[in-house]
Amino acid sequence: MTAVELKKVLIHKITEINDVSFLEAIMTILDSKTGSRTIILSPEQQQEIIDSKKEVENGQYFDHDSLNKEVSEWLNAK
C-alpha cells in the first residue's frame, strides 16, 4: 500500500471514530510527527491573554531592561 492509499484509509477510519479521548490520543501522535501542537486554552486563559494584550496596547508593561534594573535595585536594598 502506498503512502497516499494508506492516508485515505486512515482518514476514512478516523471519520468513523466518535471517542473523543481516542481522537485526542491520535492528535497527540500526529502532532509529534508533524511538529505542530494544538494548545487548548480554558476560557480563563483566553481572557488573560486578551487582558494582557490590552495592557500592552495601553503601555502597561515593563520592558526587559527596566524590569532587570528594578529587580537589581530590589535585591540590593535587602
pLDDT in tens, 21-44: 999 999 888 888 877 667 788 999
pLDDT of the residue at 31: 80
Whether 28 contacts 38, CB under 8 Å: no
Greatest distance between any 2 Cα atoms in the chain = 70
pLDDT tier at 77, thresholds 50, 70, 90: confident
pLDDT of the residue at 71: 93
**Which element (helix H / strand E) includes 66?**
helix 64-77
Same domain, 2 and 35: yes
What would the pLDDT profile of 40-65 be if each residue is shown by its tens digit? 889 999 999 999 999 999 999 989 99
Same domain, 50 and 78: yes
DSSP 74: H
Same domain, 34 and 50: no
In this prediction the pTM is: 0.44
Same domain, 3 and 32: yes
DSSP string, 1-61: --HHHHHHHHHHHHHT---HHHHHHHHHHHHHHHS----PPPHHHHHHHHHHHHHHHTT--
